[in-house]
Amino acid sequence: MTDANCSDTLVEINGLWKVFTDRPVDFDLQYEDAMENLEDNGAVVAVRDVSFQVKRGEVFVIMGLSGSGKSTLIRCISRLVEPTQGEIIVKGQNVLEMDEQQLLEFRRYETAMVFQHYGLLPHRNVIENVAFGLKLRGVSERERNERARTAIARVGLEGWENHYPSQLSGGMRQRVGIARALVQETDLLLMDEPFSGLDPLIRREMQDTLIRLQKEVNKTIVFVTHDLGEAIRLGDRMAVMRQGQFVQQGTPEEIMNNPADEYVERFVADERALLSGKGRQPVYFPSKSRLTKKAKSTSPSAPLAAAGAEVK
């Protein structure tokens, strides 16, 4: 990564692989024969040679069907899943070279994660759940409660501080999860299908909440979803993932109007018809529909790219 790009790029992933296998992988996975040998012996290749960058203040959406490898990929960024090969550079640091203490500090201070299934502590109330990460950092009770109350109000749960997870709806629990991530005040948010378990109306409300929050806090977000409409609505840029690979990267408009192959074309056809009402006609996105002020940024739009080997 050049010096010119360092200040603008928060996350850079280079040639990332994740292979689930009981055998040691001490060879270059780029070799086709090596891959065939692994797969013949029962290995599962979840992420295949994935590379991408995420700029500061950008929402980068990874979209794919179940089993495409998208959740494995996002968990590799914080090493909740250990990658097999590749580079994960966050703020100039290679996460894969961090020792145990450095990784702990990275997770506490540099990134926060929002999960699909909330991950709330059932015997702690809302404010205690939101403030829990700050408690682990050693932040005083007074400061962490003040910061937690601010985050709770930001997600629209003011007045619910003393309620327990069992007393909350699914949408409210996810708001607590988002507040818990926001209170960490990290630059990077990793969001793994956070709204997929919610009914459509609540899901739309949560998307609206994220759009509003992003305008306020301007975080860098990597967001995983299986829903194309959600990806289009939230993403500044996005990638379509299939069988562990990125099939295409670009802005939502680029991907909708110029699908890289038949797989992407099938994905976008219905959504394009819904948005344009004219079938194969181009879809245009008003600039106001982009999430962040970064959408008007100094960096040019990323070119359309077909990534990795041919998807079969």
Of 215, 229, 205, 244, nearest to 76 by C-alpha is 244
Residue 298's pLDDT is 33
DSSP letters for 265-283? HHHHHHHHHHHHSSTTS--
- Tokens 């979209």: give the residue: 63
The full set of domain ranges for the chain reads 56-82+98-274
| Ranges of the chain with pLDDT below 70 | 1-7, 26-28, 30-35, 40, 275-312
Residue 26's pLDDT is 67
56-82+98-274 maps to CATH 3.40.50.300: yes
> Which SS3 state, helix, strand or coil, does residue 222 take?
strand
pLDDT in tens, 119-171: 899 999 999 999 999 999 999 999 999 999 999 999 999 999 999 999 999 99
Residue 285's pLDDT is 60
DSSP letters for 41-102? TT-EEEEEEEEEEEETT-EEEEE--TTSSHHHHHHHHTTSS--SEEEEEETTEEGGG--HHH
Residue 6's pLDDT is 52
pLDDT in tens, 237-258: 999 999 999 999 999 999 998 9
